[in-house]
Homo-oligomer: A and B are copies of this chain.
Amino acid sequence: MTEPFRDPANPLDVRVDDLIGRMTTREKIGQLNQRLLGWHAWSRRDGTAVTTEALDEEIAHSGGLGALYGLLRADAWSGRDWSTGADPAASAEVAALVQRRVVAGSRLGIPALFVEEAPHGHQALGAQLFPTNLGAAAAWRPELIERAAAHTARELRARGAHLALVSGLDLLRDPRWGRGEECYGEDPLLASLYTRAVVRGMRREPGIGVVLKHFAGQGAGIGGRNGSPAPIGPRELTELHLPAARAGIDEGALGVMAAYNDIDGVPCCANGDLLTRVLRDRWGFEGLVMGDMFAVDRLMRAAPTPAAAAAVALRAGVDLSMCDVSYAALHEALDEGLVTEPLIDRACRRVLSVKLRLGLLDPPAPAPSFPPPEPVADLVAGGMVLLRNHGDLLPLSREARVAVIGPNAADLASLLGDYVPPLPDGTGTTVLDGVRGLLGDGVRYEPGCLLTMPIEGGLARAAAAAAGSDVAVLVLGSTGRRDYRDDFQTNGAARLGDARPAATTGEGFDAAEVELPAAQRDLVDAVTAGGTPVVAVIVSGRPHGIGRVAAACDAVLYAWYPGPTGGRAVAEILFGTREPVGRLPVSLPRSSAVLPVAYNERLETTERYIDADAAADFPFGAGIGYTRWAIGPASASTDRVGADDLAGVSVVATVHNAGTRGGTHVVQLYARALVAGRLPRRAVLVGFARVALAAGQRREVRVDIEPDAVPGLGIGAHDTGMLELWFASRAGEPADPLRLRLDPAAGELRS
Residues on A lying within 8 angstroms of B by beta carbon are: 176, 178, 222-223, 225-229, 231-237, 239, 260, 262-267, 270, 298-299, 301-304, 308-309, 311-312, 316, 496, 500, 504, 508-514, 517, 591-596, 601-606, 608-612, 614, 674-680, 714, 721-722
- Contact yes or no, B512 A678, CB < 8 A: no
B residues less than 8 Å from A270 (CB atoms)? 676-678
- Known A-B contacts: A225-B614, A302-B721. Give 13 more (CB < 8 A): A222-B601, A228-B604, A228-B605, A231-B232, A231-B235, A231-B236, A233-B234, A303-B674, A303-B677, A304-B722, A311-B676, A510-B606, A511-B610
A676 to B265, CA, bound (A): 11
B233 touches A232 (CB 8 A): yes
B594 near A593 with CB under 8 A, answer: no
How distant is A480 from chain B, measured CB to nearest CB, in Å?
12
Inter-chain contacts of A517 with B (CB < 8 A): 611
Query: A304–B674 contact, CB under 8 A?
Result: yes
> Out of B223, B227, B596, which one reaches A614, CB within 8 Å?
B223
Interfacial chain B residues near A500, Cβ < 8 Å: 610
Point out the residue from B504, B509, B676 that lies within 8 Å of A312, measured CB to CB: B676
A311 contacts across to B, CB distance below 8 A: 676
Q: Are A611 and B680 in contact (CB under 8 A)?
A: no
Contact B223 A594 (CB under 8 A): yes
Closest to A673 in B: B302
Q: Is the CB of A302 within 8 A of B676?
A: yes
Q: What are 16 of the A-B contact pairs (CB < 8 Å)?
A: A222-B601, A226-B605, A227-B606, A229-B602, A233-B236, A235-B264, A236-B265, A265-B678, A265-B714, A266-B678, A266-B679, A267-B679, A301-B679, A302-B674, A311-B676, A592-B592
- CA A512 to CA B613, docked complex, whole Å: 9
Q: In the complex, which of the residues B223, B239, B301, B308 contacts A596, with contact meaning CB atoms closer than 8 Å?
A: B223
Option from B266, B511, B675, B722 in Cβ contact (under 8 Å) with A677: B266
Find A676's partner among B308, B676, B714 (CB 8 Å cutoff).
B308
Which residue of A237, A309, A504, A513 has the most chain B CB atoms within 10 A of its CB atom?
A: A513
Are A233 and B606 in contact, with the CB atoms below 8 A?
Answer: no
Q: Are A609 and B512 in contact (CB under 8 A)?
A: yes
Name the residue of chain B whose CB is nearest to the CB of A272: B677
Q: How far is A508 from B610 in the complex, measured between Cα atoms in Å?
A: 8
In the complex, A593→B176 CA distance in Å?
A: 9
Contact B601–A299 (Cβ < 8 Å): no
Cβ-defined contact, A513 with B264, below 8 A? no
A280 CB, min distance to chain B CBs, angstroms:
18
Query: How far, in Å, is A338 (CB) from chain B's closest CB?
Result: 9
The CA of A636 and the CA of B508, in the complex, are separated in Å by 40
Please determine whether B513 and A299 come into contact, CB atoms closer than 8 angstroms. Answer: no
CA of A677 to CA of B234, assembled, Å: 18
Instruction: For A594, list chain B residues within 8 Å (CB).
Output: 223, 512
CA gap between A304 and B680 in the complex, in Å: 13
Contact A609–B680 (Cβ < 8 Å): no
Given A512-B609, A593-B592, A301 and B603 contact (CB-CB distance below 8 Å): yes
Q: Complex: how many Å from CA A500 to CA B611?
A: 10
Establish whether residues B679 and A265, one from each chain, have CB atoms under 8 Å apart when the complex forms: yes
If A232-B233, A233-B232, A233-B264 touch, whether A675 touches B610 (CB-CB below 8 Å) is: no
